[in-house]
Amino acid sequence: MRRPTLEAVAARAGVSRATASRVVNGQTTVAPHIRDAVERAIDELGYVPNSAARSLVTQRTDSIALVVSESPTRVFSEDPLFSTVIRSASVELEAVNKQVVLMLASSAKSHARLERYIAGGHVDGVMLISMHGADPLPTALSRLRVPVVSYGRPAVPVDIPFVDNDNVGGAEAAVRHLLSSGRRRIATIAGPLDMIAGQDRLTGYRNVLRDSDHRSIVAVGDFTRESGSAAMRQLLRDDPALDAVFVANDLMAVGALQSLRQAGRRVPDDVAVVGFDDIDAAKYTEPPLTTMRHPVTEQTAALVRLLLGLFVGGPSDPVILPTELIVRESA
């Protein structure tokens, strides 16, 4: 009836529980014929180790919390980046036999719960996916005695190893691409300025324009489609003669394209548009979107490596990955 225990396996194989445990854990100090007997018993009984009992004594849980901290405006079901990160993190962690415990941190209530949970030693480590600004979570988690890594540089100064892409460099490349194709009045739709990605991509934009003596035309969105739409309308009002826009993410770029269409502007003939992220939908806009790709899957893999490294006392240096310009038809 009940699931078989190590005791049962040992009895069936005619050995002690300790020996059975050695076989299960792959220790080499077991004679071959005994090992065989135990393995046969395991198969016959369909034995599966009880993880609760195991972690009770080893003080490890072999599970990793994936903490997704979403802002009210940036729900992860809307933003394809979240799911890509979650998916590839799962793949990576499963490959090394770690369990993925998914935790949403939205309300303050869930924050408290989360902290208790993590402080309670239920997980061996935490991967923090917090895209939004003044998030108290990085600070709170770094105080706990649990290894924490972050996807994206935390917005607050806190000592958490992280993986990020080169937002400044990517934005610079995007704007340079617009300049080199002869555009003269290049506006930007920036992301929220309490987010690192928002800040850095704006910085990149400004760097290039400053160096080339063009003036900057800025509207600010919050990385959602809606806000991109609104920001584009704003820009057209501010400077009807603009001939290019660098949009800080693709979701907003989709909204911007819609506003441009409604305003009767042709893309790229009248206005060139470059986005950032290369989400899947970028291929399907009208026209297809030129954008900066960053390797989300590789970033996540690097993040997992970083965390696993911390367990064995490895380095905790940030990892910054480069971005790549993907030229389609919008610019």
Partner DNA sequence: ACCTCGTGAGAGAGCGCTCTCTCCACATCC
Partner DNA sequence: GGATGTGGAGAGAGCGCTCTCTCACGAGGT
Site of interaction with a second copy (CB under 8 A): 3, 46, 48-53, 55-56, 61, 63, 66, 75-78, 80, 82-84, 86-87, 90-91, 94, 99-104, 106, 110, 113, 116-117, 119-122, 225, 254-255, 258, 261, 280-281, 284, 286
2 binds DNA (CB under 7 A): yes
241 binds DNA (CB under 7 A): no
50 binds DNA (CB under 7 A): yes
Least distance to DNA, CB of residue 43, Å: 15
112 binds DNA (CB under 7 A): no
99 binds DNA (CB under 7 A): no
Dist. CA 103–CA 68, nearest whole Å:
6
Least distance to DNA, CB of residue 62, Å: 11
56 binds DNA (CB under 7 A): yes
54 binds DNA (CB under 7 A): yes
Least distance to a second copy, CB of residue 81, Å: 9
36 binds DNA (CB under 7 A): no
Question: Smaller CB distance to a second copy: residue 115 or 194?
Answer: 115
> Both tokens of residue 168?
């400044």
Question: Smaller CB distance to DNA: residue 10 or 149?
Answer: 10
53 binds DNA (CB under 7 A): yes
For DNA (CB under 7 A), the number of binding residues is: 27
Least distance to a second copy, CB of residue 199, Å: 26
Least distance to a second copy, CB of residue 209, Å: 29
Write the single-letter amino acid at 277: D
3-state secondary structure the chain: CCCCCHHHHHHHHCCCHHHHHHHHCCCCCCCHHHHHHHHHHHHHHCCCCCHHHHHHHHCCCCEEEEEEECCCCCCCCCCHHHHHHHHHHHHHHHHCCCEEEEEEECCHHHHHHHHHHHHCCCCCEEEEEECCCCCCHHHHHHHCCCCEEEECCCCCCCCCCEEEECHHHHHHHHHHHHHHCCCCCEEEEECCCCCHHHHHHHHHHHHHHHHCCCCCEEEECCCCHHHHHHHHHHHHHHCCCCCEEEECCHHHHHHHHHHHHHCCCCCCCCCEEEEEECCHHHHHCCCCCEEEECCHHHHHHHHHHHHHHHHCCCCCCCEEECCEEECCCCC
Residue 46: which of a second copy, DNA, none does it interact with, CB under 5 to 8 A by kind?
a second copy
Of 214, 187, 212, nearest to 270 by C-alpha is: 187
Looking from the CA of 85 toward its CB, the CA atoms found within 13 Å total: 28
> Contact letters (x/-) for DNA, 4-33, by CB under 7 A?
-xxx------xxxxxx-x--xx--xxxx--
Q: Which of 1, 26, 46, 57 binds DNA (CB under 7 A)?
A: 57
Question: Smaller CB distance to a second copy: residue 90 or 330?
Answer: 90
Q: Where along the sequence are the contacts to DNA (CB under 7 A)?
A: 2-3, 5-7, 14-19, 21, 24-25, 28-31, 34, 47, 49-50, 53-54, 56-58
